[in-house]
Amino acid sequence: MKILEYKTLLPGLLFIFMIVSVLSAQVEPEKNPGPKVELSGFVDGAYFYDSNSGANTFGLDQVEIDVIKSVSKTTVLRADLEWVNDGAGGFALDAEQGFIQFSPLILGGLNVTFGKFNAPIGFELLDAPDMYQYSHALVFDYGLPTNLTGAMLSKNIGENVDVVFYFSNGWDQNVDINKSKTIGGRIGYSRDDDWTGGLSFIRGEERENNSGLLTVLDADFTFTAVKNLTLGAEINKGGENLTDSTNTSKTVTWLGALLMAHYDFSEYWGITIRYDYFDDNDGSRLGVAEKRQAFTFAPTFVLGDGMGAIIELRNDFSDKKVFTDKKGKAVKSQLAMALEFTFTF
């Protein structure tokens, strides 16, 4: 069987598997007694200042409403609806996530997720209330997908190990741009809530004409054993085999990393420090072959129940002149500041 046919067949098999799983979940007699629909979400507003260009603006960065509905003891629906500032005066309405997750007893603890979900890869999380600072790391922006549309199997093995495997359209593809499916997974280990670590991979054709097979390996690590201190680290190695119209192939690669520390001085305030590294050998991610780094310093504040604020100072610097200053001159660094308020409910 040709590879292509095999890849087309797999989602079909997976779909049949899921229908059987859902049906088997339906015959379970107990209905979930929990609340009908849980609503949560957040409002994220900020003031942003780019000291290079002098550009500065207030902005409502995002409004999100999350809807969770327990259909039965083994089936949950979730939708994350978000309005994201498009930077041009409008807001883009999107379904950040929307999935059904079921865990039929017959599958012995295996969870099946179908729909669109946050990609289970990397150290940082997507939404503002789950972040330790205002901006995402270079690794998050350039080395990883954000959301995946497809099917995911996950399972806890014992108390310390969890495993995830998924099958999706591709990196942030609500609709597939080609005929190939992207596969990936993560194996995680956690010990006594002191530290967690994970090894992830994702691999697939991410170009319209199947001219680039993209593979990423990512390791994430979180250490929280010292009171009030969270340490995080990530290493991200990516490569893409590109084939041009003359059938000549070449491989482009990148290496990204982050190191962060967050310390809470009291329940009302803390400080985050983060170092970013992204070596884009071939310019396949940043557009220019460069080695970019960033230092981020961010005092964080808890203002009340569900209310938080962050002041962020971030300095990006590159070995190439990829930024511009006030006069439009190419320079090697960029300094930016942000003030952010988040309200969660």
Number of residues in contact with Ca ion under rule CB under 5 A: 10
> Applying CB under 5 A, which part among 106-114, 165-173, 257-265, 307-315 lies near Ca ion?
165-173
Nearest approach, Cβ of residue 192 and Ca ion (Å): 28
- What's the closest the beta carbon of residue 321 comes to Ca ion, in angstroms? 33
Give me the 95-134 binding string for Ca ion, x by CB under 5 A, dash otherwise: -x------------------------------x-------
SS (H, E, C) the chain: CCHHHHHHHHHHHHHHHHHHHHHHHHCCCCCCCCCCCEEEEEEEEEEEEECCCCCEEEEEEEEEEEEEEEEECCEEEEEEEEEEECCCCCEEEEEEEEEEEECCHHHCCCEEEEEEEECCCCCCCCCHHHCCCCCCCHHHHHCCCCEEEEEEEEEEECCCEEEEEEEECCCCCCCCCCCCCEEEEEEEEEECCCEEEEEEEEEEECCCCCCEEEEEEEEEEEECCCCCEEEEEEEEEEEEEEECCCCCEEEEEEEEEEEEEEEECCCCEEEEEEEEEEEECCCCCCCCCEEEEEEEEEEEEEEECCEEEEEEEEEEEECCCCEECCCCCEECEEEEEEEEEEEEC
Nearest residue (CB) to Ca ion, 286 versus 338: 338
Residue 282 touching Ca ion (CB under 5 A): no
In this complex, which beta carbon is closest to Ca ion, that of residue 136 or of residue 292? 136
Q: Which parts of 45-64 interact with Ca ion (CB under 5 A)?
A: 64
Residue written as token pair 């059938």: 247
Nearer residue to Ca ion within complex by CB, 82 or 124: 82
Which residue in the set 94, 176, 279, 282 belongs to the binding site for Ca ion (CB under 5 A)?
Answer: 176
* Nearest-approach distance from CB 261 to Ca ion, in angstroms: 25
- When the beta carbons of 84 and 335 are compared against Ca ion, the nearer one is 84
The residue (of 44 and 220) whose beta carbon lies closer to Ca ion is 44
User: Quick one: 154 or 180, whose CB is closer to Ca ion?
Assistant: 180
Nearer to Ca ion, 80 or 240 (CB): 80
CB of 292 to Ca ion, least distance (A): 25
- Does position 80 interact with Ca ion (CB under 5 A)? The reply is yes
Nearest distance, CB of residue 202 and Ca ion, angstroms: 12
Regarding 170 and contact with Ca ion (CB under 5 A), the answer is yes
Q: Per CB under 5 A, does 82 bind Ca ion? A: yes
Residue written as token pair 């289970």: 120
CB of 69 to Ca ion, least distance (A): 16
- Of the two residues 117 and 278, which places its CB atom closer to Ca ion in the complex? 117
If one asks whether residue 240 binds Ca ion (CB under 5 A), the answer comes out as: no
Buried b (16+ CB within 10 A) or exposed e, 126-154: bbbbebbbbbbbbbbbbbbbebbbbbbbb
Range 177-196, binding Ca ion (CB under 5 A): 178, 180
- What is the contact surface with Ca ion in residues (CB under 5 A)? 64, 80, 82, 96, 127, 169-170, 176, 178, 180
